[in-house]
Amino acid sequence: MLEQDFAVDSATNLPNMFGLIETETKKIASFEGTAVLFDLVGLCRVNEELGISIGDHCILAAARSLEDSLPDSHSRCYRLG
């Protein structure tokens, strides 16, 4: 259980960087696909002006939106930072 907790982001329940490394390194040699990285521009300002809990809600909303837009069961979404 502890290993699973370590690999999952507690705010979004998405696999985090450690989850990415744990599950995807086995596939690296035969990887075919696309990796997309993005930044929530303005999140730092939201945290500073409205509070971290509001920033966390923004992160969660973005995570759910991304997860809902994944094209198939082979697609993955991770939180790295």
| Domain of residue 56, residue span | 2-69
Query: How many separate domains does the chain show?
Result: 1
- Spell out the alpha helix ranges (H) of the chain: 2-6, 17-24, 43-50, 52-69
Residues 40-57 have pLDDT tens digits of 999 999 999 999 999 999
Long-range contacts of 15-21 (CB under 8 A, 24+ apart): 15/76, 15/78, 15/79, 16/78, 16/79, 16/80, 17/78, 17/79, 17/80, 17/81, 19/78, 20/76, 20/78, 20/80
pTM, two decimal places: 0.62
**Residue 36 within any structural domain of the chain:** yes
Residues 14-42 have pLDDT tens digits of 989 888 887 777 666 666 777 788 899 99
**Residue 40 within any structural domain of the chain:** yes
> What pLDDT is stored for residue 5 in this prediction?
73
**Residue 12 within any structural domain of the chain:** yes
